[in-house]
Structure 1
Amino acid sequence: MPAARVDSSLSRGARSADAAPGPSAPRSIRLTAAWTGAGAALVCAVVAIAAVAVCWLPAAGETGSARSALHAGVLTFLAALHGGITVDGLSADFVPLGMTLLVAAVSWRAGAGLARAADDVEDLTLRSLAEAAAVQAGTFAAVCGVAAGFATLGTSSVSVVPAVLAGLILFGGTGGIAFVRATALGSEIGSRTPDWVGPSLRAAAAGVAVYLAAGAALVIGSLVVHHQQVEALSRQVGGGWSGAPVLLLGALAAPNAVVAAASYLAGPGFALGSGSGVGLSSTVHGTVPAFPLLGAVPSGPATTPVWLLAGATPIAAGLCLARVARADAESWRLRLRNAAAAAAVAVVAGIALAWLGGGAIGSGRLRAFGASPWQFGLALGAGLAVVSGAALGALAGVAWWRSRDDELPGVMRATLTAVTSMVTRDDPGDADEDGKLAG
């Protein structure tokens, strides 16, 4: 072989060797993924054990034990995964969402930390990154399964298989997303995703966020208005350390109340047990458990301020969705498409939120608790679709009229320019672009 060809072959081989990751690189990132996934589960378990010990042991006195607190803390962590738990022989699906959000936050940080570690390893392939994400989520789920086999307290327990599946789904939906967004996997997935997915997700998030914000405002206002009932229920559960667990549960269940309030404003309302319902037009419920947060539940039809909030919420949410959909597309056809897709995404989000925020507590009267997933999801999506569609349609019509400036009287032209300038982010001089009703 000529010398020039040998040198060329050697140089190509050297470049290939430099481009290929060394065998230790994928192994090191997988090891990092394993211990960060396991560490996230252990951190969540330790936090739950500490919270149980602080709230339970002082109130239990001589009847409490460190071993019982340990098992109860691990059960609390596993219950937060929303995979189902058996308490005193009764199945309970209702979980304070604050617990789930805490686990999700720890998982997100673990995924983001693994992404930072991956940045320090040179020449990692997409396959190595995907394997690292799978190892991290799998290790988290495996630790949850081991904990489920360990955490049995009397007749209270968590099944191993549901705990593993719930841990895998929760970590994949939080830590996995954080890892993908911060690595080359995000760009790769984005390049393979249809162009309407990102704008639709952002628009749906804007609309759902408005509903949740309105629900939070309603919960806070109702607590203020019904503070006497809340204080009476707080006195019933006792003071001092005996009331600390109930106070902590009330704080952790606040997100559940926000979801129920959002469903209340959307129209379907929510249930406080079998045969009971709380809605805008009527409220029918019997004796509720002595839980302070339930003191804020209305006992009759909605008042005028609540009706005003219920009317303003879908309008504000739909306008926010329409604005995001409009900003992410150049033609009105694409904007309407993104808005329609966002409304469909909102239906799924509403179903998921209501399912996470509600659930059965035993098999008796409280077997139906919280908002109905399908009713809330459909009401949420319908409200967003109607308002955003009307808003985008009106803006499209106004833009078409603005494109015909020469045919409009001066006063009408100035009025349309002022109105569209207030509700859009475009300058008044952009009429030519807005007027293009491209297909």
Structure 2
Amino acid sequence: MKLLVSWAKSLGMEFDYVPAVGVAGGLVSLWRKSALKVVQTKKNQRYLLLFVQFRNSSGIDVVGNVYGPNNVGDRVAFFNSLGADLRMATGSIILGGDFNAILNDGERSGSEEANSVGDASFKSFVEEFELTDLPLRNGDSTWGSTRGGGLWSKLDRWLLNGEAILRLDGACQSVEDWGISDHRVVTLKLGSHDFGPKPFTFFNCWLLEEGFKNLVEVWWNSALVEGWSSFMLQEKLKGLKGEIKEWRLRKGAWGSEKIKELEEKLHDTMSRMEREGVSDELRRGRLAILNHLWAEYRKEESKWLQKSRLRWLKLGDKNSHYFHNSCKVRESHNSLANLIFNGVCLSDPGAIKLAIFNHFHAFFKRDPRWGAKLECDNLPRVCAADITMQSFFHRGRDLVSDSVLRWK
């Protein structure tokens, strides 16, 4: 205990803890007082929950340190008790630790135990509080044993609800290398990697703008590019990107800025009605603003719907929070954190971009008559532009087909 107090003071942090029983268990949570205010704590032998208020936040958030029981029968009571205390939260929920349970059979290998009552209660707990298990980087399992030919499971993790994902930009969990323990450390990392601007972005909501489709068609047909088909397509898309950017600048306020501008106009019109009475002129002005505002709402929702990939939802409900949350989760799943190039693991965005450039530069310098044939049934999708190119080619295939299919 004296060592813990001395350690916390040396770091300038406050702490709370749950003592170990013999050589098992024991939980410690440390935090900086300047970053958050601890309102209340809930703890027992299996978890330590801090009910806190972060800076610039009015809700009560929960940061939890968890150590689930090994005994399968005890897990049901454990998750019931944890859930009862979590219901006090009104904002973000951030839980981390060894849950001693899995969410699906793919998280366990080499073990005969499957579909246990304890694992089912864990899955129900995650679903009830709408928690998200972010993708685990640098590995698949967090616990391992050499007995019985090898047992491997994903028992340790971070779980976040939608509020936490929105607040913690670029959140992802990464597993560290194996050490002397049979568990691997799982770190919750924040902050997204900046790889620079995307090569081409196309939002379906642009098609709702009057004259946009004609603008693209006229420019595409008038642009003259010579070379092989892929080069022609690349240069045309690059030029179209600049044309769309200029068109957006000419349009003035856009998206959320336009919505805010219209909402202010609506407020001013309603205030005038309160002061001056409801005249025909103000009534017509209010109706025109409402029509314009609803149109902008639909465009903004269409953009977030496309980014979140929720194709089965219909447009119309202004549920931006849900779309933001879905977009953040997908962004975490698709983000590129590191790349193994020539046996070296690269994590810096600049180094990754240089490695990719060098690879393709060397590839395209080879004799084009020779190359490998790629056969793959389940090729994983890359995140950078699938939202963009797929939509553009699907909706404008008649326009771009000549450039795509022409070969020299």
TM-score, normalization by structure 1 = 0.22
TM-score, normalization by structure 2 = 0.23
Flag the structure with higher helix content.
1
